[in-house]
Structure 1
């Protein structure tokens, strides 16, 4: 019985991200675990505690992504793996998914792969479905609750958040799921967990180790640009009373053709 949770490091959502004169994306703050993955990692650890299963935290990327793996280990995952190959530089979601699927297949005994709802840095989630396609497994997105899971019987029943409310879905294991933030309260690393994770060795698997050619990206970003600057001004509306101020405001809005 084995659950793999896939994570990555991203810029802090509070970071000020800018594009420099050479077109490079820069920020000063440290990388953090993808915020959506706090919930997926926690869910993997909760499943471990409830069912006495093995958990692996997996990432694809350069050494900076070790931080996300270490947080998963500090919270309670059993082992961490990083996939990296020079051909994955500037990878698109299809290459990324090929790497994740190959790593899951190399592990060999995986029942469930868990993702966070999306990647905060790209705002995308197609990789979840691409991994499921590569593995040939069922995919269930936007999971709000794992209602039942039977690792021996190879079945899973979940509650999904949908636009109209909630939906109960049952399927067979192995499967790929993505979880929403409502699924749990994130666990945070203990001091002992952080110490243990800091000493952990994280194996790195490349294309040769996985026996796969990641190929070339089919989608390439041609350029990044800062959003255009907005020139704004503030005009104070004076008046002896609230009614007078309101009247002047309405007149100004009509004058500027806002109303």
Structure 2
């Protein structure tokens, strides 16, 4: 996998040519910025920008005014190779709060293991209804330590819209959800994104995360996708590297509350 070629493809397909991620969102181009806008529970924010040092602060201020006018919190999703080099510092000065830096990991699906190996007593269950979404939300709360009602509502919306671009899976240990993950397909591109994958603390280290990656890799391969992409935490990055993922760049979300 050629790092520079795949990074350029990633930027073009998933950022500059991004599509709305649900029926309640829209993509807007505003000069050197591409943003997604939707309801309060949707992901609202800047997906891509091409700024220079001279005009960056003015463009940032314009986005703050725009989302404030809509009464929406929003995120500026920055990447390690974005310009200008001090974009993060400029966002801080404009009142944004940074979240943890993550590694953008990418793998050619043909190089990944697709055999699903689960610990005894654990099974993977596809999520097809609201009850399944509730199980996913329960697993995520165990894994990450806090509820995420906005994420739950987004998943319910995707089910209601009959979206064929999202697959959701929950790992069950008996009647208890212990991990959950989803895959978001990007039609017309070579990429499928892996999201979630958090596991309850007492079930970590037993291979559930790896099994969920293998499960989704197999599904993506069957659908003709070439690359899997993950925004990986420091905890999941070593696992992904052992599976065959490479670090493409970094990403840091900067969040601006409603003014």
Relative to the length of structure 1, the TM-score reads 0.24
Structure with larger Rg: 1
- Bigger relative CO (Cα 8 Å, ≥ 6 apart): 2
